[in-house]
Amino acid sequence: MKPLLDIVSLELKSRLMADGRRRTYDENTIVFERGDAADHLPIVISGSVKMIRMPEPGKEIIIGTFHAGEMFAVPPVFDGEPYPSTAIATERTELLQIKRNDFLKLISESPEFAFQVIAWTCEMLREKTSMIRTLSTASPEHRVGRILLKLVAESSTGSPVRIGIRRQDIAEMAGITTETSIRVIRRFADQGLVRIVRGKIIIDAIEPIQKLLRG
């Protein structure tokens, strides 16, 4: 997702900052839980948040991850339904929280903001469609490769990119077991597609992974 706060006009950004309330969450702190009333739109100022579902005790499925400048949980805030997933800060995170009434008012008054909400929704639909297609047909290598490319695209840093999430998180996003994720990433390192430094995945260039996916 494109960072909303980085691409909107100064006027819109100023209004968002004025309308919203800033709140800080420590790592692993719940921002909201599935079923809670969707009473505010969250925008990440710094840090990162993951949205998850737990179909059974001890099993976590990551729905999405969001980083500095990005908004999330747009559909439930728009239609008034409860949050469909639980949101958890994956590191110390500061959020800008826009009350639902202010969010709806801003949509009606600001064509720029309305356009960004529509663009966010379209991009999310494309991403989910692509992910469903990948999970239904692709090998574990292709699944992990696509997740790594997605994480690189979401990174706000230049090359090389350090992947901050765990192998378990990658496995859950790819729909495979943690053990399979570990084996695939080890093979990627053996093939020179990634580097492992102190247990963390480092990606110097995306082209080798893209070539693997094309092949």
Report the CATH number at residue 162: 1.10.10.10
CATH number at residue 43: 2.60.120.10
Is the domain of 147 the same as that of 163? yes
Same domain, 149 and 122: no
Where among 76, 101, 133 does a domain terminate? Answer: 133
Tell me the C-alpha distance between 2 and 69, whole Å. 8
What range does the domain containing 37 cover?
4-133
Q: Do 166 and 111 lie in a common domain?
A: no
Return d(Cα 119, Cα 116) in angstroms, integer.
5
Of the candidates 174, 148, 172, the residue with the CA atom closest to the CA atom of residue 161? 148
pTM metric for this prediction: 0.67
Length of the chain: 215
29 with 126, same domain: the answer is yes
The verdict on 25 and 118 lying in the same domain is yes
| Pairing verdict, β 161-163 and 200-203 | antiparallel
Per residue in 168-213, pLDDT (tens digit) is: 888 878 878 889 999 999 999 999 999 999 889 999 999 999 988 8
Asked whether residue 154 falls in the same domain as residue 172, the answer is: yes
- Residue where a domain stops, chosen among 105, 133, 161: 133
- Count the domains in the chain: 2
Backbone angles phi, psi at 117, to 5 degrees: -65, -45
What is the pLDDT confidence band of residue 133, given thresholds at 50, 70 and 90?
low
- pLDDT of 82-111, one tens digit each? 999 999 999 999 999 999 999 999 999 999
